[in-house]
Structure 1
Amino acid sequence: MGASADGTISRQPNACLITCLMVGFVTIPVVSVLIVGVIKDAKINPQGPQFRLESATVPQLNINGSELTATWDMTIVAVNPNHKLSMSFDSLQATVF
């Protein structure tokens, strides 16, 4: 702050203060969101679903020359170890070459 010619003190904004406030307004929410995310992740402890093939049968198998066609019946079990998270599948598609 400097004195003007008439002896009054001029009040110019301090550039460092404004910059620090702007950085704080951006940094504090970002850090807060990260902390909340880490706490939720630690509390929920998410784990991936477990899949297993319970049964598989081939009730229909056809061989015509070099072409092989089959009908497969499979039971796949999916277990969700997360009690606080859910999972759902609209469809499941598999292709065998």
Structure 2
Amino acid sequence: MRTTNRLRTTLGLALAGVTVTLFTSACSMQDAVCGGDEYPVLRVGSAGSACASDDEEPPKGYARYPEGKVPEHVDDKWDKYWQTRSIDENGKTIDLPEEND
């Protein structure tokens, strides 16, 4: 009987450890740039972005990101890339001036 109780206790502790691991790793996942049914858009000529509905064109003053350079998660490679760049009215990538404090 004691062996059965020890086995249950060990299994219970193992399951609790797995549960804690799953919850803490889920909290550390990167946030999506936009929610479901939306896509990210870039402000033309300046810093800034927004999310547009999948069934709509970008709002005035915004454009779609160039293909292959679309940020998907906050602070991913392309999100960081576009923090110092934008596109001009012709769709050409431009560097943004550095901010002075």
Q: TM exceeds 0.5?
A: no
Larger Rg: 1
The structure in which a higher percent of residues are strand is 1
